[in-house]
Structure 1
């Protein structure tokens, strides 16, 4: 007779989120509201900040609301790209996807030129892109003059190409079924470290790599459901079998000493006044392409000194970085 309580039967996977943060992987978090997605993402961002100290972070938020609050360090951040359509002073989430892919293609092009010339590829500065409610960008595409399949492939391509170029995606959504994404299949989820929360765990179990994993996960899931632990998830690291573990406590990895970041005009806190930026509203014909975007067409050039993508023309074939004030060749 096994007299242990359900909680006593739970396997110990302490430190699992730290290991994922160190792996430099894309991360996929799926689950309904209230299952702990935002807190988990905040802990993950805290770990990335503790590991890297300084990195470039971009935030795409298609659905404006006050429920999902994200932090870098100990500062709340505002989206770089907000809403389904551009308005004055605010670039849309769809524009954010274009910039994400343009960044990747610019780095690919640079590597190609360097390798063709017998040079080493650049040691790129890491970029982390948080895409909240990423599935809504696909599901709502037609309502905003976008093509669902092209948007879907844009996200898929960014994940499959970006990692080797140090461009990482943290995608958060509610729908765990891959069949909802045009052009995707279960193998595409393997490009991410997958985390399923709440009822989404059942779908994650269905995506087991073999019957043995499925049986083990079902047994562990039942143990957690009979315990008094509220927040837990199914974690499947890249190329490995899944396991079910307790989520970290809220802000568990937030530390005052190593977690303070300077004010950044691109991520103003609530006490900062937002700078008004005049943006052109996209025409109905504007759409996301899944084809490679070259530097000459996209005009997204990365500063080789600091990694910023904001620069101005400074002579023939020269640009000046707005962030570090250094000039570089186009």
Structure 2
């Protein structure tokens, strides 16, 4: 009994589906596309429980001697092994489309395959026009092999592809040609307590402007609009919506501690009353967005007559009435 047959590079054997390999069994080897077997193509299991030797091997199929028209090959060989590189040149008036060398690939093909056919050098026509763009060849009458032109796009557009194209020996321009696509911006950013005019739009091309507005009780700070720039980004900085503050309060029969000319939304004001007066509820008020105070009636002070003015009897009577009410 022999172990499983050994694998070989770039090849397969016929025993892949078998589990046992008794004495006398033979397996055959084959090679992948582009490779050819070298040596015996089969091995057998011997009485000693070992496979016969040597193993076959798969060797890359080489390339045949090239047929070169209108040119010559340097260091010409009768055959070329896979991986070998061939260098060639063209006769006067002819040129290769791309490279002046080719490499032998497994399977006996050359890369690039068109090197065998040097072509007569032809001038190129005027470079192709592209929508929303231009090229540097305007004003020139002739374009010969090796000359290049540079493409650019109109404002509001950006270039996709190579910006340089070359005149090839065949009289064609290198491909593919570039193209110009419109610059667009992403959706405008939202701001706290505000809205923008682009909510219903799907596209925002270069040059478009959106305007911001603020919710009730808030006022815009900074520019109220932004524009989509040539770089596909929104102009900066963004506006912001700031809560409208409160004006300095008018206080009668009392005083405000640390009085300010204006108060921002959220700031708290503390006050006290003159002798004989009191606040309705609290002795503080908070500035609300929109410029209103809370509580709104904090500044309405009520008269509070003293005990001497009422007389002791009247004071006791009022106290009893208040106790009975509660």
- TM superposition score normalised by structure 1: 0.15
Greater relative contact order (CA < 8 Å, ≥ 6 in sequence): 1
By percentage of residues, which structure has more strand? 2
Query: Which structure carries more helix by proportion?
Result: 1
Q: Rg larger in 1 or in 2? A: 2
